[in-house]
A and B are shown apart, each in its own frame.
Chain A
């Protein structure tokens, strides 16, 4: 098989070939390391490559499989990790030179699970500094570049993760999402990206940004691959008190392709916000496809939607500034200026302001739960624009000029604030050839419903099979 073809095979197909010994994990890793060598000068997906260890691990996997010790569908599958997942013995920079030489002496819980499942870690991916940004621009380790057009942003903060998978450098990746950092780069790079319910995946051993809004989760080229990663990583962790005791289902079993009777709500507020007409057309067409497949689609109202950003921002700023307080006081000049400003601004919030935001969060969650009694899924745009040019600080969305940060997080914040799950799935391309994403959200712990809906939609279209011209 052609090496580039190997690089673009989804894990759900690759695993069968590996299990049947038709392809070796060593061949796969070698193909992807060659792909990285060829494309990394353009993309800058990685902060740390672990090529030698990856080859050694691939050889071990090959020997285990040859000996009949097949661990399951992720055995021998390459993966990249956002550079805030602690891996024992591998430096963890969190995207900042401040931690250039920090080497954890333990694995995060998710890394332990992924190693147990047999994945092969190719390296640690580039991220917006401390995950505190949505564009994927990084002055310390270089900007991340979108595989569909390297002059455009990947989106962030899990930008290196997204570009590594979208370009075939890796089969799978894991990121984190505090204000859209899985879903935005997934949307802008043409991937499926799931932000699970808060408490579904452990945060233990991940660099924190905002404790109550941080969500680890998968990005992949297909929804089925996201389901495989959920099977390997979801579940209670005594080391993360926020994780749920709720049983973990088999997420791949949810991928039935059947949408008949699924109740889909389309919040009218999504389309009253600034929205690029080209994105709106693609998203409305995607919702039509859901209806044609048997879903029951109706418009709904979500009046609290417009408060999600200010509420979530107050909480995020307060939590992030608490986490970074000493560091930003003493080494502020070593932060990227936009990150430093956000962190320092957090000092100027008052305690009553934070408490009011937490009260407002209660109202927001209650209204969201009520809304999701009438429908199973909420559908809408993932981002109001496609990937903008690297370095831009403002964008024009329709007729509105706004900061890139405000634009890109416009549809993401509600799900970080509530902790409810949401997924981004490709739903089209702009005339410039840039990916457009559809966002689906659901009730807490309804990841099966989200994956079922996203997978059925994906299978009805061809977008996930398209590749950037790299």
Chain B
């Protein structure tokens, strides 16, 4: 694994596999959810099931791959010189 992909893979989700109830509540508050709601226990159980299933994406070597959603600067903001010079 390249350093780049290793660095990317080190960014686990906020919860992470080591997440516990207290850190979950802390993150729920950060997200603006009502951490005192009785529903939080149901949400906690739910995310511990659903989020690990999404980690299959981490198996892929994404080194040097641009994301599908690229930002394109509006053309009218580019000078004519820049447009003519190309990338």
In the bound assembly, the distance between CA atoms of A363 and B65 in angstroms comes to 8
Give the interface centre of A307, A348, A355 by most chain B CB atoms within 10 Å: A348
B66 adjacent to chain A (CB < 8 Å): yes
In the bound assembly, the distance between CA atoms of A349 and B51 in angstroms comes to 8
Interface residues on A, range: 20 to 34
A66 adjacent to chain B (CB < 8 Å): no
Select from chain A the residue with minimum beta-carbon distance to B30.
Answer: A347
Give the interface centre of A325, A337, A357 by most chain B CB atoms within 10 Å: A357
- The residues of A that contact B47 with a CB separation of less than 8 Å are 345, 348
A313 adjacent to chain B (CB < 8 Å): yes
| Shortest CB distance A178–B (Å) | 16
Contact A307/B56 with A348-B13, A356-B8, A363-B62 known, Cβ cut-off 8 Å: yes
Type the 1/0 row for B54-67, where 1 means its CB is closer than 8 Å to any CB of A. 11111110100111
Select from chain A the residue with minimum beta-carbon distance to B11.
Answer: A352
B39 adjacent to chain A (CB < 8 Å): yes
Whether B54 lies near A307 (C-beta < 8 A) is: no
Give the interface centre of B14, B15, B33, B67 by most chain A CB atoms within 10 Å: B67
Please report which residues of chain B, range 1-48, place their CB below 8 angstroms from some CB of chain A when the two chains form the complex. 8, 11-15, 27-28, 31-34, 37, 39, 42-43, 46-47
Whether A360 lies near B60 (C-beta < 8 A) is: yes
| Shortest CB distance B44–A (Å) | 10
- The residues of B that contact A352 with a CB separation of less than 8 Å are 8, 11
Contact A212/B69 with A310-B55, A344-B33, A356-B8 known, Cβ cut-off 8 Å: yes
Give the interface centre of B13, B43, B55, B57 by most chain A CB atoms within 10 Å: B57
Please report which residues of chain A, range 339-358, place their CB below 8 angstroms from some CB of chain B when the two chains form the complex. 340-342, 344-345, 347-350, 352-353, 355-358
A459 adjacent to chain B (CB < 8 Å): no
In the bound assembly, the distance between CA atoms of A306 and B57 in angstroms comes to 10
Give the interface centre of A307, A337, A359 by most chain B CB atoms within 10 Å: A359
- The residues of A that contact B11 with a CB separation of less than 8 Å are 350, 352-353
Whether A359 lies near B67 (C-beta < 8 A) is: yes
Question: Which of B31, B53, B66 is in CB contact (< 8 Å) with A347?
Answer: B31
| Shortest CB distance B3–A (Å) | 15
Contact A344/B53 with A358-B69, A362-B65 known, Cβ cut-off 8 Å: no
- The residues of B that contact A347 with a CB separation of less than 8 Å are 27-28, 31-33
In the bound assembly, the distance between CA atoms of A212 and B68 in angstroms comes to 10
In the bound assembly, the distance between CA atoms of A347 and B30 in angstroms comes to 9
A332 adjacent to chain B (CB < 8 Å): yes
- The residues of A that contact B83 with a CB separation of less than 8 Å are none
B50 adjacent to chain A (CB < 8 Å): yes
Contact A345/B50 with A310-B55, A362-B68 known, Cβ cut-off 8 Å: yes
- The residues of B that contact A306 with a CB separation of less than 8 Å are 56
Whether A357 lies near B57 (C-beta < 8 A) is: yes
Whether B66 lies near A362 (C-beta < 8 A) is: yes
- The residues of B that contact A349 with a CB separation of less than 8 Å are 13-14, 51, 54
Question: Which of A307, A332, A350, A363 is in CB contact (< 8 Å) with B12?
Answer: A350
Whether A350 lies near B8 (C-beta < 8 A) is: no
Whether B13 lies near A353 (C-beta < 8 A) is: yes
Whether B62 lies near A356 (C-beta < 8 A) is: yes
| Shortest CB distance A167–B (Å) | 35
Select from chain B the residue with minimum beta-carbon distance to A306.
Answer: B56
In the bound assembly, the distance between CA atoms of A329 and B29 in angstroms comes to 10
Whether B8 lies near A348 (C-beta < 8 A) is: no
Question: Which of A325, A344, A358, A361 is in CB contact (< 8 Å) with B43?
Answer: A344
Q: Pick 9 A–B contacts, CB within 8 A, sort by A.
A: A311-B57, A313-B54, A332-B39, A348-B15, A348-B31, A349-B54, A355-B67, A356-B62, A360-B65
The 10 closest A-B pairs by CB, nearest first: A358-B67, A352-B11, A347-B31, A361-B68, A359-B62, A310-B56, A359-B65, A341-B46, A329-B32, A350-B13
